């Protein structure tokens, strides 16, 4: 997390909007707050920068700065109701209590993320799991249209907006844009270990990864949402054990309770195939396979 900032400090430094509350679910190095502009909520994100970055008032050219620039570019470019849009506050750099922070805003998505839903409710309804798959597939299709792989599809990055009947894939901070130079340092693996695809771990062929890696991770999330259990990860596992399971363990199919659950389980198990060519070729095909399950 960035340098600890109290809510009242944020309010003093962002008087152009109403800062409501901090979000404890902030990931990585971001500090996240819910704000209001003319009564409409939006998300404010801050990332601490090296002091020298504020001299030119621009993002640094290091990995953090380039990732932020890519994320903001995606917020501005992607037109899908299943991806967040840019918020009303233009990006910039601001010095707060002697530290330099880059800030930007994005659309506020009401609702809980899927990780909280699983923790609090145990599982999601079969129809909701199918709907989540369709909506996240739409988000992935939009990203892949720009030759972008999200690389961090996980329950905490999918928000269930019950108010508007949709699921939204958030936080493309680790996105890989195949048409642009690599950002990740050689030998590093980005993302969240229990939600790696096998391709994530092949650092020698990083540029050959495609949307099927995101579809694998979607399969992991759907399995967990349907059953309440991760297909192979358990909290006591080490990073090495987790990666071993990602590469070699084929999980047991989800329990079959009825015909709809059986069909949903078949889609999930195809998404979880270790070899990319055994999965669906595109997000569109995933959505087509799931669509009939919504009315069942």
Annotated catalytic sites, by residue?
152
Of residues 3, 52, 9, 1, the one with CA closest to residue 28? 1
Count of Cβ atoms closer than 10 Å to residue 257 Cβ: 11
Instruction: Indicate the angle between helix axes 126-145 and 211-227, nearest 10 degrees.
Output: 170
Region label for 249, one of left (φ > 0), alpha (ψ between -120 and 50) or beta (otherwise)? beta
């Amino acid at each position: 997390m960035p340098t600890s900032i109290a809510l009242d400090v944020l309010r003093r430094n962002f008087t152009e909007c109403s800062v409501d509350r901090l979000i404890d679910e902030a990931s990585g190095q971001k500090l996240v707050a819910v704000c209001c502009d003319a009564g409409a909520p939006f998300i404010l994100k801050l990332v601490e920068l090296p002091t020298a970055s504020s001299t030119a008032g621009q993002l640094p050219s290091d990995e953090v700065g380039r990732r932020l620039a890519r994320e903001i570019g995606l917020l501005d470019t992607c037109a899908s109701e299943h991806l967040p849009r840019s918020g009303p506050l233009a990006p910039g750099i601001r010095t707060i209590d002697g530290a330099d922070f880059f800030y930007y805003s994005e659309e506020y998505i009401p609702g809980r993320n899927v990780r909280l839903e699983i923790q609090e409710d145990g599982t999601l309804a079969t129809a909701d799991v199918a709907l989540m798959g369709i909506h996240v597939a739409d988000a992935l299709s939009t990203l892949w249209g720009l030759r972008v792989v999200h690389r961090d599809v996980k329950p905490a990055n999918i928000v269930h907006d019950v108010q508007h009947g949709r699921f939204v894939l958030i936080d493309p901070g680790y996105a890989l844009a195949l048409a642009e130079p690599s950002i990740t340092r050689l030998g590093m693996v980005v993302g969240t270990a229990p939600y790696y695809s096998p391709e994530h771990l092949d650092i020698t062929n990083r540029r050959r990864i495609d949307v099927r890696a995101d579809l694998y991770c979607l399969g992991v999330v759907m399995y967990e949402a349907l059953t309440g259990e991760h297909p192979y990860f358990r909290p006591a596992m080490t990073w090495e054990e987790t990666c071993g399971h990602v590469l070699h363990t084929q999980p047991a199919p989800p329990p079959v309770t009825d015909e709809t659950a059986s069909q949903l389980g078949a889609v999930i198990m195809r998404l979880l195939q270790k070899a990319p060519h055994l999965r669906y070729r595109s997000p569109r095909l995933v959505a087509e396979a799931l669509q009939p399950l919504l009315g069942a």
